């Protein structure tokens, strides 16, 4: 289906990867992994033909259709969401365009017996057949189903796409790609901006997808459930493993352990060789021997191992003091923006040590509730904190709110106090900021680096109640695992919003769900919560699907199809003409309505003339409406 032949990408600082020869087959589900900056997104752009390799070639089978979801997607459309996706199928657009043209000709022509007219009927029949082949009758049903799965409500289907946020525009673009079923799906972080329920839906959709899929994701569970192959970009090479992520990771760790032992032995041999070279180089009798050792050393294929700095990353959230038995009480808490109710009448108590996952679709008010609890915004009701409660709040945009002009060290130095300031460099080292990294300006850091720095600030703020809004955004899989372990070891209370199911699994002991402006508390895990939600979503989708009309193919009565089509098209033509007359008459009547408002009723002649014409127009309209009803009834009878 698709072959990479000795592909390489060269940048000023060197090769991203080189001599890559791999193949994508029909039905492959490939997870693309590697460090940030390794070239994952670059590889997808090469395959999608949006950029060219520095060397090598990419071969594709003829007629292969690609669908590419990028992270930097730009969607600018005033169309409604539904129409945006409906109009994305070029084949159906072409067929419908031709059908409209043929129908127009049939409706305007009266030479019903001519060969050219009959040829139009044949063309009409073929176009309708092609529309059936391409499942045009169920196209809208499929589009609506995908949009619902990705979180769009029915009341939003006609809303202009440009009125949505960037995350929702990305969902619409993803829906457009999915529903057109390209042969190869290229998805760069498709779960970004999706809520936990939409991610689960997408996972199920991709499992049943007939084409090939290549996906970049930091969601470990998503990769495990969707992929059957892993490409690892490491040290300028792309390693191919016939496993999903977790099994690949296990296999890779075994290989790295073997490579580490081999490297130690090789390093020992190289050191010994270098000592011999230095010993014999100056002696004329041994110069030839020294040169042979140098040549041997130059030819040595040195073993390289890509280090995993997150393996050293250890986070522990310090506990301030133990609070009382309860840490938070919500008393009739609510929040509205104008006429829009986000949530209302929330009443609950949080006990010391509770581990809470706050879940719900995007836009239901999860972040708003956290801001209300932390007093960032005002609202109805009262938020009460328990005895000795000290909250540390990690906002969703925490990393972006860092001062870009400060250095990494200055950022943490400004919040640290007491003896802990002596250990700032060690603490930064635990967050992978070592050596000259601590002197970098925040403005040059990547999204993942800023998130780690913001988490480091969190570490320097002792608390007993952590409130975390999407703390795993921009973190890679390994960093998320380290953060999860730190939270599992945390002795205080925490509330976390996250769409990463793997991160939440076995982390929390209860779920807060915002649903229909209310708060529901569930005492089970994320897996069970999602299973229930997916069943509910399937029931809703099936109950809302329009019924599919089945064709009655029973040959109870033989009908001359050509005569039938001629009569139907004659009636359609007559109906169109009648509708135009009705429209013209209604416009004329509106004009006379305005005239009558401005009449000088002292001028009897003018009044009589206007009223006579007005009554004449009304009578004509009544006659045309009766004719329209008669033609419509005949057409309905013919269709039946």
Q: For residue 527, how many other CB atoms are within 10 A of its CB?
A: 14
- Name the least confident of 88-92, 103-107, 355-359: 103-107
Ranges assigned E (strand) in 35-126:
55-60, 66-69
Which pLDDT score, from 0 to 100, does residue 626 have?
Answer: 78
Residue 75 lies in a domain: no
Q: How large is the average pLDDT for residues 204-229?
A: 93
Which pLDDT score, from 0 to 100, does residue 539 have?
Answer: 64
What CATH number is given to the structural domain containing 56? 3.40.50.300
Last residue of a domain, one of 155, 181, 207: 181
Residue 555 lies in a domain: no
Residue 343 pairs with which residues in a beta bridge?
A: 335
Whether 156 and 44 share a structural domain: no
Q: How does residue 235 score in pLDDT terms, banded at 50, 70 and 90?
A: confident
Distances (CA, A) of 602 to 302, 471, 606, 607, 615: 108, 79, 9, 8, 20
Residue 74 lies in a domain: no
Whether 302 and 223 share a structural domain: no
Residue 611 and residue 596: Cα distance in Å, rounded? 8
Residue 87 lies in a domain: yes
Q: Checking phi first, is residue 158 left (phi over 0); if not, alpha (psi -120 to 50) or beta?
A: alpha
Whether 286 and 415 share a structural domain: no
Which pLDDT score, from 0 to 100, does residue 432 have?
Answer: 75
Distances (CA, A) of 451 to 8, 400, 633: 31, 8, 67
Whether 456 and 379 share a structural domain: yes
Burial status of residue 569 (CB atoms within 10 A of its CB: 0-12, 13-18, 19 or more): buried
Looking at the chain, the whole-number percentage of residues with pLDDT higher than 70 is: 92
Residue 548 lies in a domain: no
Whether 502 and 382 share a structural domain: yes
Task: Produce one character per residue of 372-386: b if its CB has 16 or more CB atoms within 10 Å, e if not.
Answer: bbbeeeebebebebb
Ranges assigned E (strand) in 145-273:
184-188, 212-216, 229-234, 237-241
Whether 95 and 171 share a structural domain: yes
Residue 627 lies in a domain: yes
Which pLDDT score, from 0 to 100, does residue 554 have?
Answer: 40
Smallest CA-to-CA distance from 381 within 343, 345, 351 is with 345
For the entire predicted model, the pTM comes to 0.70
Last residue of a domain, one of 266, 283, 306: 306
Whether 370 and 496 share a structural domain: yes
Whether 177 and 189 share a structural domain: no
Residues 6+ apart with CB under 8 A from 565: 121, 124
Decide if pLDDT at 555 tops 50: no
Residue 581 lies in a domain: yes
Residue 631 half-sphere exposure toward CB, CA atoms < 13 A: 19
Whether 142 and 212 share a structural domain: no
Please check whether residue 38 is in contact with residue 236, taking contact to mean a CB–CB distance below 8 angstroms: no
Q: How does residue 556 score in pLDDT terms, banded at 50, 70 and 90?
A: very low
Whether 190 and 177 share a structural domain: no
What CATH number is given to the structural domain containing 611? 1.10.287
Please check whether residue 9 is in contact with residue 60, taking contact to mean a CB–CB distance below 8 angstroms: no
DSSP 547: P
Decide if pLDDT at 423 tops 60: yes
Burial status of residue 283 (CB atoms within 10 A of its CB: 0-12, 13-18, 19 or more): exposed
Residue 549 lies in a domain: no
Distances (CA, A) of 456 to 24, 88, 122, 578: 41, 45, 72, 74
Q: For residue 571, how many other CB atoms are within 10 A of its CB?
A: 17
Which pLDDT score, from 0 to 100, does residue 431 have?
Answer: 74
- Could you tell me the residue range of the domain that residue 34 belongs to? 1-65+185-242
- Name the least confident of 30-34, 43-47, 119-123, 383-387: 119-123
Beta strands 14-24; 2-11: pairing state: antiparallel
Last residue of a domain, one of 259, 275, 306: 306
Give the number of domains in the chain: 5
Whether 280 and 324 share a structural domain: no
Residue 390 and residue 558: Cα distance in Å, rounded? 83
Report which of residues 93 and 310 the model is more confident about. Answer: 93
Whether 533 and 446 share a structural domain: yes
Residue 276 and residue 443: Cα distance in Å, rounded? 49
Q: Give the strand order in the sheet containing 493-497.
A: 391-394, 465-469, 493-497, 355-359, 510-515, 518-522
């Amino acid at each position: 289906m698709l072959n990479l032949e000795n592909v390489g990408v060269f940048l000023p600082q060197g090769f991203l990867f080189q001599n890559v020869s791999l193949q994508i087959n029909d039905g492959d589900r490939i997870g693309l992994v590697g460090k940030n900056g390794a070239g994952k997104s670059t590889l997808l752009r090469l395959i999608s033909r949006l950029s060219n390799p520095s060397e090598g070639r990419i071969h594709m089978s003829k007629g292969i259709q690609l669908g590419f979801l990028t992270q930097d997607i730009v969607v600018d459309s005033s169309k409604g969401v539904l129409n945006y996706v409906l109009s994305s199928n070029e084949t159906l657009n072409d067929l419908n365009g031709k059908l409209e043209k043929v129908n127009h000709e049939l409706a305007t022509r009266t030479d019903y017996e001519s060969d050219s007219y009959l040829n139009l009927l044949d063309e009409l029949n073929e176009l309708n057949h092609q529309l059936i082949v391409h499942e045009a009758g169920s196209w809208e049903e499929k589009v609506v189903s995908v949009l619902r799965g990705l979180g769009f409500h029915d009341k939003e289907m006609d809303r202009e796409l440009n009125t949505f946020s960037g995350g929702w525009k990305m969902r619409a673009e993803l829906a457009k790609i999915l529903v057109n079923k390209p042969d190869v799906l290229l998805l760069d972080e498709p779960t970004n901006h999706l809520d936990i329920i939409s991610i689960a839906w997408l996972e199920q959709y991709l499992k049943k997808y007939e084409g090939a899929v290549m996906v970049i994701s930091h969601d470990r569970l998503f990769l495990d459930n969707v992929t059957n192959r892993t490409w690892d970009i490491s040290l300028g090479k792309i390693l191919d493993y016939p496993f999903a992520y977790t099994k690949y990771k296990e296999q890779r760790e075994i290989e790295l352990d073997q490579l580490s032992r081999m490297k130690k032995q090789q390093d020992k041999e190289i050191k010994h060789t270098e000592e011999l070279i230095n010993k014999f180089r100056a002696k004329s009798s041994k110069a030839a021997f020294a040169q042979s050792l140098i040549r041997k050393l130059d030819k040595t294929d040195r073993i390289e191992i890509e280090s995993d700095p997150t393996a050293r990353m250890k986070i522990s959230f310090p506990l301030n003091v133990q609070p009382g038995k309860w840490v938070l009480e919500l008393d009739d808490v609510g929040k509205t923006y104008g006429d829009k109710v986000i949530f209302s009448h929330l009443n609950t108590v949080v006990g010391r040590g509770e581990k809470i996952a706050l879940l719900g679709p995007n836009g239901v008010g999860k972040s708003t509730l956290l801001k209300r609890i932390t007093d960032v915004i005002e609202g109805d009701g009262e938020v009460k904190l328990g005895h000795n409660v000290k909250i540390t709040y990690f906002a969703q945009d925490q990393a972006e709110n860092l001062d870009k002009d400060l250095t990494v060290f200055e950022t943490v130095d400004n919040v640290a106090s007491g003896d802990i300031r002596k250990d700032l460099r060690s603490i930064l080292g635990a967050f992978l900021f070592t050596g000259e990294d601590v002197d970098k300006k925040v403005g040059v850091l990547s999204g993942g680096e800023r998130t780690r720095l913001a988490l480091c600030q969190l570490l320097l703020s002792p608390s007993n109640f952590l409130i975390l809004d999407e703390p795993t955004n921009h973190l890679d899989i390994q960093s998320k695992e380290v953060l999860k372990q730190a939270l599992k070891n945390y002795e205080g209370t925490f509330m976390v919003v996250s769409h990463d199911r793997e991160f939440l699994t076995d982390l929390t002991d209860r779920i807060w769900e915002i649903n229909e402006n209310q708060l529901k508390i569930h005492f089970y895990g994320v897996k069970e919560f999602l299973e229930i939600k997916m069943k509910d979503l399937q029931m809703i989708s099936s109950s809302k699907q329009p019924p599919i009309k089945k064709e009655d193919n029973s040959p109870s009565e033989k009908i001359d199809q050509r005569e039938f089509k001629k009569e139907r098209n004659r009636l359609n033509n007559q109906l169109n003409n009648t509708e135009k007359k009705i429209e013209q008459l209604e416009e004329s009547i509106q004009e006379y309505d305005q005239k009558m408002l401005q009449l000088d009723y002292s001028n009897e002649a003018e009044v009589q003339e206007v009223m006579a014409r007005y009554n004449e127009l009304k009578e004509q309209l009544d006659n045309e409406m009766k004719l329209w009803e008669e033609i419509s009834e005949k057409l309905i009878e013919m269709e039946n």
